[in-house]
Amino acid sequence: MRSGNPALNKNTFKNLTNTSGDLMTLDGAVNKTGISLLILLAAAYYTYSNAIMDYIFIGFIGGFVLALVTIFKKNWSPITVPIYAALEGLALGGVSKMYGNLFYEGIVTQSIMLTIGIFFTLLLAYKSKLIKPTENFKLGVVAATGGIAIFYIVSMLFNVFAGTTSPLLDPSNGGMMGIGFSLFVVVIASLNLVMDFDFIEEAAEQGSPKYMEWYGAFGLLVTLIWLYLEILRLLAKLNSRD
């Protein structure tokens, strides 16, 4: 049980091949994560600054397909992960612009800063051993993440076939239940970062193939994108109380 993140689960270490002989390092994973984030931010800035909404669907669907390819073909990560980052960036830029137009302009900047702040705070807490990913910790986070995923899937099916959306997912729902649900999801998404850090460190210690540096970066991107979107939703709900 590695993480609630579908990209970093208990099967991640299985059937890894290393034809080059080069091994994954922690510094290499950090560098690949930085490169991936820069690609994502550049693509997001392009669609956000030009108010392009047409790439939201293309970006998310294309990113989902590439995510599946990356999960099943980990050795393709050096190619698929940068493209995944670009596609997700195109989609996130459009989504961010929509939130800025519907709610208030500063919501995007606040969401980015909160995401960055949570990331570095939890990284510091992990490195200083303030938070330890014990088996009970992992079990709780995985169970909560799975429950949230099931709720999202059921809500999506209701939306498609019944045309109804759960009020808990409505960003304009400023009720206590809606805000409480979003706050809970933000906490669980944040705790998944701790498990992602643990996965990357363990993968490096086990001498995983070099391409796993990109795969580790991919796992962090998945969690950070989820966290950012949930923070956007939470801030939108808080704004709706005014």
Cα 67-40-63 angle, rounded to 5 deg: 25
Which of 218, 188, 210 lies closest to 63 in space, CA to CA? Answer: 218
What pTM did the predictor assign?
A: 0.90
Look at residue 3 and give its three-state secondary structure: coil
Residue 85 is predicted with a pLDDT of: 97
Residue 116 is predicted with a pLDDT of: 95
Residue 81 is predicted with a pLDDT of: 97
Where do the domains of the chain lie? 26-239
Digit-by-digit pLDDT tens for the chain (242 residues) are 455 566 666 566 555 666 666 888 989 999 999 999 999 999 999 999 999 999 999 999 999 999 999 999 999 999 999 999 999 999 999 999 999 988 887 999 999 999 999 999 999 999 998 988 888 998 999 999 999 999 999 988 888 787 777 888 888 888 899 999 999 999 999 999 999 999 899 888 888 899 999 999 999 999 999 999 999 999 999 988 75
Residue 1 is predicted with a pLDDT of: 46
DSSP class of residue 229 equals H
Instruction: Give CB contacts under 8 A, 24+ apart, made by 121-129.
Output: 122/190, 122/191, 122/193, 122/194, 122/197, 123/193, 123/197, 125/194, 126/194, 126/197, 126/198
Residue 8 is predicted with a pLDDT of: 66
Residue 19 is predicted with a pLDDT of: 60
Which of 27, 19, 84, 95 lies closest to 57 in space, CA to CA? Answer: 95
